[in-house]
Structure 1
């Protein structure tokens, strides 16, 4: 593995140079970045996958939905449609992509749209929905839009400050671009993370004076959805865990701590299952999967349960999180 990384290092340097030049073109106005009148909150990262963007979007919805009309705009990765699409009751997961479909299923009163052209997507939502705020999913690197508030996510076990450019590492953007974030959230932390370690991480990140650094951990709901049972009821059963997410490791660790013994079938992120794979899964006694995978599997399998996951802050960070959001929403 180390040999392969060394061989790929020149490609990483070239990739990093291209990213650097692109960002400078936006900084100097060579490429334009548009600011919209409607409030926009961007959620994203500097790396590829695995930082918990969808749970963060869900947390934003739960925080704001009682007081504001919300719309969500995503690219709709691996969807089988193009252009702008606003979700309706007839929209399929193949039309939207798994994550937007999951969000619409969970929050049916929230407008969810997909468009690779974020500028056009925002404009269409303004015309068709008139939201108070648009949540931009996975849009930190899409600099053609200048969001009103940006939340940058970085995983506890893979901080962007300790990472490197693709393909040697997982960075898809320059570390220095973290300066554009209003808030940096370290996700997937241990629930008992000490203040000493938090200070050490803050020191590594080196936030700007106006940036908040918050620490969150993942919480798994032990009441499984789909076929509603509790997680402990799966102990002693022949369980097959199916994942098509960027980083299943936190889930694996949680399930092992809960005393589950299982086989793990790991697929690529956003994987759409073939007929052959579905036939294999139908032969399994009990399948446990993630919520994102569930929306792609539910119409094909009966022996299926999924486990919900959410971002959780301690009381102090949660109060700060809400304060920052509501202060932004109150701005003219």
Structure 2
């Protein structure tokens, strides 16, 4: 835990006690969890950011979109608007949040919605949209809504069962909260993970959530794409991002390309003209003509903001898309998702 962790541990006890008491009030029915006349699938985690929720939501969209009308529901973290909102062509990352705008920008046949209070937002979705399935993003602690299927993610490099509650660790509530999950997905596994390692992890997870199905996924990085025009990609990179966990990104990019400079902002960073001018200055100082800037898909959508147009459109900026794939348990995962929808429909 270290000296700082020991120093913060009393505050962890207080925070953990508060969240446990809150969960107890929901468990005994003093605080009410609402169930709706809809297929609601929740995707969330116990920790603060960085577990791969967006790639998992995208996986679910691809799994379901051919047969069901889908609506995503997110809080819209970092947006400049309030209340319930259905995304439209006038929106941007600043009006609905970076991750919802990524969904809207990428999937044209789904409805993307945001709303801080999910229990208020879902009736709006049911009244205004023809949705067969609602994918509720980052709502594991939002217990005012009880999903039909609760999917919890945990990062392979920092699993919930070896982490601590804030501020000592990164958990939003105690490890016992995992027992609310129907499926626990260990995300961002290394490519060469063995069956023995997965067996050991599953045993640790099952100690806190004995009734949950445990699955394992990894991240696949796709070929870089230009943000604007058809620029020529270069292996000489200025890498920048504003995500919760840069480690997998840096490992992949450094393996395949030459990182000549790098700069990392905080998670959900809202890019300004000053930020981009600073990045351009660093980029121009790189001592080579054949070069480009590279960022993540989550950051890319924020660069599409009209306020940044004059600052970024002339730069050779590329983004690297990612997608999640199952290492173990993919067939069972798909079946549980589809069965939860069929059971409700029946």
TM-score bracket relative to the smaller structure: over 0.9
Q: What is the aligned partner in structure 1 of residue 303 from structure 2? A: 297
Return the alpha-carbon distance in structure 2 between the equivalents of residues 225 and 71 of structure 1.
28
In the alignment, structure 2 segments of 5+ residues that lack a partner are: 285-291
Q: What is the aligned partner in structure 2 of residue 181 from structure 1? A: 181
Q: What is the aligned partner in structure 2 of residue 111 from structure 1? A: 111
1:323 Cα offset (Å): 1.1
TM-score normalized with structure 1 length: 0.94
1:4 Cα offset (Å): 2.1
CA 1:210–1:11: 2 relative to 1, 3 Å: closer
Bigger shift: 22-31 or 297-306?
297-306
Return the alpha-carbon distance in structure 2 between the equivalents of residues 129 and 298 of structure 1.
27
**Aligned pair 1:317/2:317, yes or no?**
no
Q: What is the aligned partner in structure 2 of residue 328 from structure 1? A: 340
Return the alpha-carbon distance in structure 2 between the equivalents of residues 197 and 177 of structure 1.
23
In the alignment, structure 1 segments of 5+ residues that lack a partner are: none
1:9 Cα offset (Å): 1.0
Q: Is the 8 A contact 1:234 1:260 kept in 2?
A: no
Any runs of at least 4 consecutive aligned residues in structure 1 with deviations exceeding 6 A, and if so which?
A: none
Q: What is the aligned partner in structure 1 of residue 253 from structure 2? A: 255
Q: Is the 8 A contact 2:215 2:329 kept in 1?
A: yes
2:12 match: secondary structure: helix
Supply the RMSD in Å over aligned alpha carbons.
1.6
Q: Is the 8 A contact 2:239 2:259 kept in 1?
A: no
Counterpart mapping for 1:47-66 below 5 A: 47-66=47-66
Return the alpha-carbon distance in structure 1 between the equivalents of residues 23 and 320 of structure 2.
38
Q: Is the 8 A contact 2:46 2:172 kept in 1?
A: yes
Once the two structures are superposed, residues 232-271 of structure 1 have per-residue CA deviations (whole angstroms, 9 ceiling, x without a partner) of x532x2x211110000100101111214223221100111
Q: How many residues align?
A: 327
Q: What is the aligned partner in structure 2 of residue 167 from structure 1? A: 167
1:174 Cα offset (Å): 1.9
1:228 Cα offset (Å): 5.1
1:277 Cα offset (Å): 1.3
Q: What is the aligned partner in structure 2 of residue 268 from structure 1? A: 266
Return the alpha-carbon distance in structure 1 between the equivalents of residues 101 and 175 of structure 2.
31
Q: Is the 8 A contact 1:151 1:185 kept in 2?
A: yes
Q: What is the aligned partner in structure 1 of residue 93 from structure 2? A: 93
1:34 match: secondary structure: coil
**Aligned pair 1:37/2:61, yes or no?**
no
Q: What is the aligned partner in structure 2 of residue 288 from structure 1? A: 294
Q: Is the 8 A contact 2:220 2:324 kept in 1?
A: yes
Q: Is the 8 A contact 2:239 2:262 kept in 1?
A: yes
1:274 Cα offset (Å): 2.6
1:206 Cα offset (Å): 1.3
Return the alpha-carbon distance in structure 1 between the equivalents of residues 130 and 117 of structure 2.
18
Q: Is the 8 A contact 1:70 1:135 kept in 2?
A: yes
